[in-house]
């Protein structure tokens, strides 16, 4: 019971935001053409959920998930190897420094030109955006592993591969997981951004299509849909992160 009350209290600001939204539009402080009432958006959400919102969101999430998984595998491997082997760091680090501050949406024209309008271009865009936070977090985490742990493992006869697997990766894991959380948020941002411009399906495409057609209630319903999916994905990731790191407690 206490947990339920605490959970409800934690998300009270969201309820207050919904009430404020409804009140502002009902009292005419903002035109319904600019901001439909919250209740009308909910009605549109229900009408569009199974036929439009759910299929398009599923297509978007499939792209984002594919790109994120590949970025995690490649990013963790590259980051840890950069920290562990200087020749790899010398070769890869300049590219990381060059692309990290680059707005990833600027790559959309290039992905269209090189990879076309299909799923490959959108997955590639998300992959690039998600890769860099994972690489940087893995690199910094692996570089920050205490030397005493490494020396102790080597003193006990561990090989370099065993030191990496048994010492460096577990010690670096908390910071790496934080980097992956950042990448998860970026995956949703780039997923919708890319679909707004270079897609004929997906939730970003649907939001743009409904907005262009003047169905602003449906457009806001699409925004709420992807916001809710992103929120749930982040909460589920945090639950999994706590389980993975339970050994720290």
User: What tens-digit pLDDT sequence spans the chain (249 residues)?
Assistant: 566 666 667 778 888 888 998 899 888 888 878 889 999 999 999 999 999 999 999 999 999 999 999 999 999 999 988 988 888 889 888 888 888 888 888 888 888 888 887 889 899 999 999 999 999 999 999 888 887 877 787 777 777 788 878 888 888 888 999 999 999 999 999 999 989 887 789 999 999 999 999 899 999 999 999 999 999 999 999 999 988 888 665
CB 237 within 8 A of CB 181: yes
Give the residue carrying structure tokens 């009902």. Answer: 26
Euclidean distance between CA atoms 123 and 40, whole angstroms: 34
In the prediction, which pLDDT does 8 show?
67
Euclidean distance between CA atoms 223 and 203, whole angstroms: 8
In the prediction, which pLDDT does 124 show?
92
In the prediction, which pLDDT does 100 show?
81
Q: Which of 165, 163, 134 is nearest to 147 (CA)?
A: 163
In the prediction, which pLDDT does 237 show?
95
Count CB-CB contacts under 10 A for residue 169.
Answer: 17
Q: Largest alpha-carbon pair distance within the chain?
A: 74
């Amino acid at each position: 019971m206490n947990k339920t009350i605490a959970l409800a209290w934690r998300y009270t600001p969201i309820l207050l935001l919904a009430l404020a939204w409804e009140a502002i539009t009902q009292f005419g402080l903002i035109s319904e053409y600019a901001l439909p009432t919250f209740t009308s958006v909910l009605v549109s959400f229900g009408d569009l959920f199974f036929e439009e919102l759910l299929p398009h969101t599923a297509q978007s999430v499939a792209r984002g998930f594919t790109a994120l998984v590949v970025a995690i595998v490649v990013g963790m491997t590259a980051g840890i190897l950069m920290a562990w082997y200087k020749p790899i760091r010398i070769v890869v680090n300049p590219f990381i420094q060059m692309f990290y501050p680059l707005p990833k949406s600027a790559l959309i024209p290039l992905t269209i030109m090189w990879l076309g309008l299909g799923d490959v271009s959108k997955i590639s865009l998300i992959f690039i955006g998600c890769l860099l936070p994972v690489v940087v977090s893995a690199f910094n985490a692996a570089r920050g592993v205490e030397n005493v742990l490494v020396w102790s493992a080597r003193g006990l006869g561990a090989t370099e591969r065993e030191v990496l697997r048994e010492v460096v990766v577990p010690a670096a894991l908390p910071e790496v997981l934080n980097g992956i959380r950042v990448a998860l948020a970026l995956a949703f941002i780039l997923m919708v951004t890319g679909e707004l411009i270079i897609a004929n399906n997906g939730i970003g495409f649907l939001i743009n299509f409904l907005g262009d057609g003047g169905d602003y209630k449906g457009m806001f319903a699409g925004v709420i849909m992807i916001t809710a999916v992103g929120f749930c994905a982040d909460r589920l990731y945090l639950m999994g992160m706590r389980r993975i790191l339970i050994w720290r407690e």
